[in-house]
Chain A
Amino acid sequence: MTAVARTFTLLGVAAHEVHVEVDVRSGLAAFSLVGLPDAAVRESRERVRAAVSNSGFRFPLHRITASLAPADLRKEGPGFDLAIAAALLAASDQLANEVLARHSLAGELGLDGSIRPVPGVLAMAEEARRRGAGGIAVAADNGPDAALVEGLDVVPLRTLGELAALGRGEVRPLGRSDPPAPSANGAVPDLPDLADLRGQPHLRHALEVAAAGRHNLLMVGPPGAGKSLAARRLPSLLPPLDRPEAIEVTRIASICGREPEPGRLAERPFRAPHHTISTAGLVGGGNPPRPGEVTVAHGGVLFLDELGEFSRSSLEALRQPLEEGQITVTRVRHTVELPCRFMLVAASNPCPCGRGGSARGCRCPEASVRRYEAKLSGALADRIDISVGVEQPAAEALRSGPGERSAAVRERVALARERQAARLGAGRCNADMQPAETRRACRLGTEAAELLVRSHSQLGLSGRGYERVLRVARTVADLDGSDRVGADHVGQALTLRRRAGR
């Protein structure tokens, strides 16, 4: 007797359907597993054997062959247990075949027959719906996540024994009635609030402009000046994710094992990898390819503290993700595209010792200061539009009350983004503008044009630098609700420009 169950394996940030075929025929008792299984999948035989016996089923003392198809796709992890067990039960006439025909399955088995959750269930549920499955059976703990996908019956199972009950029609799928909403407008509950940032109006302004135009941002300042504090508050200034974005972010989080709470859509992520991270850890890689921090930060903020300490190769590897919003990892067997549209926020000390400037007791040798500056001005120079110096806030500012709350800033940011979307198309921001678009979008007043001409001669602004100032000026004008880019907008953009090292 043969039976087929459907389950999934994860590749990159997507699930791929895998068919588990089990054949039970008379012969010496044996249980073999074929089809490129990894060690964890191979061990699944032992778990299936124990779980089947301990759940009131009979483990057939026959020759059992389980095959995972397609055979050339590498299978990883313990998530195949449930499907193998189900196919085995169907092949030995202990489970109705209709159950397998209607439902895909994903779950790990305990020896006692309990079903444990596996990562990436949201991706699996999406794939199941795409493949036209009527439902998906998952561990009870995975149920709410799978239920985020609309138009699919989700059957939460606590034990293997409940599978028989499902065959008898005694288990109800989760209600499809009320899909959880993404965080409603204005209510972004758990993110740290900008009100914590005391004083530092220039930094606040830089954050607001960066959020409004989706400009990547560099903060330069001594330790303890509030660079990390500011970066962590950036997600709270961004408009909430819309539903498809939220599903995608949640799917990635679930694959990387970072679900917020079961059944809730993720907020904009904030990722702050340490500077010792490997290039593969940052942009994704390995075999089979795994998503890196840039993908985990998709839809949110990637914060690189101590930018100057990151390896050159890691920073270079960020170029493709920053330019294309996705990264392609190619291996012999497969090519995986990982989404990574994130905002880059970088922070750095002004020099290796961090004091920055002799007046504050910096004693770094000149050559090392220059190397440091060169690395900062060289690193991703053409992808970072805004640079802001951050200093310890003045004592008066620290004594003053809390600053403006994120919600108020977020409203202005949302309005500015609406203006950009109307001009550039949905979902696009000023940071995405090509040079020709920038020229079209920036109608300059006479005085503004004059300032820009002067900046070219007086500041030695390069062509690209000019372009960046113009993009930022456009965002400042959008925040101001102005169609025309005025002299004040250009002036503010100039104070936010990147300055080359000496």
Chain B
Amino acid sequence: MTACEECLRRSLLLGRLAPYIERAAAGETGRRAPELLALGDQALAEAVGGPRAVELLGGVDGAAVAELSRRVDAAGCRVRCRHDPAYPPQLREHGAQAPAALFASGPPEALGGLDPDAAITVVGARRASAYGLAIAEELARMLAGAGMVVVSGLANGIDSRAHAGALDGGGTTIAVLGGGPDIPYPRRQAALHRRIPARGGIVLSELPPGTASFRWSFPARNRIMAALAGMTVVVEAAERSGSLITAGMALDLGRPVGAVPGPVNSSMSAGTNQLLVEGAVPIRDAQDVLDHLLGAGRRTVRELGPDLDPDLLLVLEQVEGGNATCDAVALAAQAPAHLAATALARLELLGYLTSDHTGRYSRTALRPPAAKP
């Protein structure tokens, strides 16, 4: 445990003030919470606690801090404060908004040496299309395979797929939570929450163990995600998605933001497409990320799928052309439906396609060898 008392006191205060901040930031969660967090202890308590400020400030005394230290140990967590050499220096760029301390489960050494140029934040909508989910997983898998750390928020949808993909690719991943690091939220990702520290990753939060998540704490943790990595990639986001907040924070820090293009008629990709219009880096695969972050050709990841015979290649092109169902492929390829079905099943088994519960097929990021540039 390496954290000075002052920082622990701040963290503890933040945990206790969380419900008050919720009330103060109600109505316009988003930008406001990080601004509140830039305030000093006294000012923050007065801003959100009102008449109870004195009482609340008085509550975080030496005994309470000692109790917090015990709680951190009991939860199997570690803490690093902003004065600790192992505190990721890139977070200090937030200035007054930088978290006072980070509570983490998982090996702490992974955090200290975290190079922003070796980390990518991959975020996106909770409710995502099969396309978005497949891309998130594949992107994270390839990035992890190329030795990058994948940072995300453990949310359902894109975030959790990114973590899963990174683990699948044998890499390290960092999940930044909106509540205490010991609380698996969302609950549906409890298995992932266990798996990440077990596989050498880190689950971290600026809130002490045992703190519940609040609406304001999600945009607040987004600033940590934006700062940790050298680049933020939004995989799929609708027009008013929380991942756009993360992208905005990354831009505020002067970090590049990438976006995966989506169908122009899909509301689920409206946010990412808008980012591209505004000048975000178009991301087609992990190579695009590496080229932008490290310079073109500095590191290559392209993984090519197994060989395809011409018939399968033709069907693959049909799916890429927007024919998502067996009937559409058969019609476009002028082939009997049962042959199209067999071809789709083979392509799915080879990893080129995925299908959803309505039987619609979509492309994965895997490239066939013949299409090699």
Bound form: Cα–Cα A3–B57 in Å? 100
Q: A199-B327, A388-B359 are in contact. Are A366 and B341 (CB under 8 A)?
A: no
Q: Are B349 and A393 in contact (CB under 8 A)?
A: no
Q: B-facing mask of A134-154, CB < 8 A → 1, else 0?
A: 000000000000000000000
Tally inter-chain residue pairs, CB-CB below 8 A.
116
| Nearest A residue to B322, CB-CB | A359
Does the CB pair B359–A499 fall under 8 Å?
Answer: yes
Q: Select from chain A the residue with minimum beta-carbon distance to B324.
A: A391
A205 nearest CB across to chain B (Å): 6
User: B346 to A451, Cβ gap below 8 A?
Assistant: yes
Q: Are A494 and B337 in contact (CB under 8 A)?
A: no
Q: How far is the CA of A199 from the CA of B325 in the complex (A)?
A: 13
Bound together, the chains give a CA A143 to CA B40 distance in angstroms of: 96
Contact of A499 among B133, B269, B356 (CB under 8 A): B356
The answer on a CB contact under 8 Å between A369 and B358 is: no
Binds B, one of A34-42, A57-65, A453-461: A453-461
A361: which B residues are within 8 A, CB to CB? 267
Stretch at the interface among A89-97, A251-259, A350-358, A414-422: A350-358
For A72, list chain B residues within 8 Å (CB): none
Does any Cβ of A come within 8 Å of B304's Cβ?
A: no
B2 beta carbon closer than 8 Å to chain A: no
Q: Mark B150-179, 1 if CB is under 8 A from A, else 0.
A: 000000110000000000000000000000
| Interface contact B348-A501, CB-CB below 8 Å | no
Q: A205-B341, A356-B358, A366-B126 are in contact. Are A200 and B327 (CB under 8 A)?
A: yes
A393, chain B: closest CB distance, angstroms: 7
Residue of B nearest to A389 (CB): B359
Complex formed: what's the CA distance from A363 to B127 in Å? 10
Q: B263 within 8 Å of A by Cβ?
A: yes
Partner of A202, one of B325, B349, B357: B325
Q: Quick check: which of B116-124, B225-233, B291-299, B328-336 contacts chain A, the rest being far away? A: B328-336
Question: Is B283 among interface residues, defined by CB-CB distance under 8 A?
Answer: no
Q: Name A204's closest neighbour in chain B (CB-CB).
A: B337
Residues of B within 8 A of A199 (CB): 327, 331
| Distance (whole angstroms) from the CB of A246 to the closest CB of chain B | 33
Give the chain A neighbours of B330 by CB distance below 8 A: 201-202
**How many residues on chain A are close to B (CB under 8 Å)?**
47
Cα of A359 to Cα of B129 in the assembled complex, Å: 9
Question: Is there an interface contact between A502 and B342, defined as CB atoms closer than 8 Å?
Answer: no
Partner of B351, one of A204, A458, A490, A494: A458
B342, B351, B360 — which one has the most chain A CB atoms within 10 A of its CB?
Answer: B342
Residue of B nearest to A366 (CB): B127
Cross-chain contact B342 with A221 (CB below 8 angstroms):
no
Asked if A426 lies at the interface with its beta carbon under 8 angstroms from chain B, I say no
A358 lies within 8 A of B345 (CB): no
B365 within 8 A of A: no
Query: For the complex, is A173 an interface residue (Cβ under 8 Å from B)?
Result: no
Report the separation of the CA atoms of residues A393 and B268 in the bound assembly, to the nearest whole angstrom: 25
Across the interface, A387 reaches (CB within 8 A) one of B130, B265, B268, B359, namely B359
Chain B residues whose CB sits within 8 angstroms of the CB of A391 once the complex forms:
325, 327-328
B76 nearest CB across to chain A (Å):
30
Q: Whole-angstrom distance between the alpha carbons of A356 and B337 in the complex? A: 23
In the docked arrangement, what's the CA distance between A366 and B67, Å?
39
Which A449-492 residues have a C-beta within 8 angstroms of B? 451, 454-455, 458-459, 487-488, 490-492
Q: Tell whether A495 pairs with B345 under 8 Å between CB atoms, given A359-B266, A502-B133.
A: yes
* Proximity bits, B130-147, A CB within 8 Å = 1, else 0: 100100000000000000
B331, A458: Cβ atoms under 8 Å?
no
Is B260 part of the binding interface, using a Cβ–Cβ cutoff of 8 Å? no
Contact with B along A219-236 (1 / 0, CB 8 A): 011000000000000000
Task: Name 20 extra pairs, CB < 8 A, besides A393-B327, A454-B349, A494-B348.
Answer: A199-B331, A201-B337, A202-B330, A202-B341, A357-B360, A358-B269, A359-B129, A365-B127, A369-B127, A376-B357, A389-B326, A389-B360, A391-B325, A394-B328, A488-B338, A492-B338, A494-B345, A495-B326, A499-B359, A502-B356
Q: What are 13 A-B pairs with beta-carbon distances under 8 A?
A: A201-B336, A201-B337, A377-B357, A391-B325, A394-B328, A458-B351, A488-B338, A488-B339, A491-B342, A491-B345, A492-B338, A495-B345, A496-B341
Binding site for A on B (CB under 8 A): 126-127, 129-130, 133, 156-157, 238, 263, 265-269, 325-328, 330-331, 336-346, 348-351, 355-360
- 9 nearest CB pairs, A to B: A389-B359, A491-B342, A201-B337, A366-B127, A494-B345, A358-B268, A202-B326, A495-B341, A491-B345
Residues of A within 8 A of B (CB): 199-205, 220-221, 350, 356-359, 361, 363, 365-366, 369, 373, 376-377, 387-389, 391, 393-394, 396-397, 451, 454-455, 458-459, 487-488, 490-492, 494-496, 499-502
